[in-house]
Amino acid sequence: MIAAIFRWGVLLGIIGFVGGFVGPVIFTPDANLGPLLGLLITGPLGLVIGLVVGFVISLRPSRRRF
């Protein structure tokens, strides 16, 4: 359960970081502080959202077939 929560957190945190870091470089290459968006905002926000998503998914009953 804990591993699944952290797996989702790390996954969405990496996606948020890469999107926030690379996105401003592609769309506004003249902006000096563009990569800080990924480092300070979208990366940590993706981590928190991923932890919440992982927690909600881990609360659902598992569907195992016998």
The 10s digit of each residue's pLDDT in 12-46 is: 999 999 999 999 999 998 888 888 998 999 999 99
Domain extent, residue 49, equals 2-59
Buried b (16+ CB within 10 A) or exposed e, 30-39: eeeebbebbe
Contact 4, 12 (CB under 8 A): no
For residue 12, tell me if it sits in a domain. Answer: yes
Quote the pLDDT of residue 64.
67
Q: Which residues contact 54 (CB under 8 A, 6 or more apart)?
A: 4, 5, 6, 7, 8, 9
For residue 66, tell me if it sits in a domain. Answer: no
Give the chain's domain count. Answer: 1
For residue 65, tell me if it sits in a domain. Answer: no
The 10s digit of each residue's pLDDT in 41-61 is: 999 999 999 999 999 999 988
Question: 57 or 64, which is more confident?
Answer: 57
State the pTM of this model: 0.84
Nearest to 24 by CA among 39, 11, 5, 7: 39
Quote the pLDDT of residue 65.
62
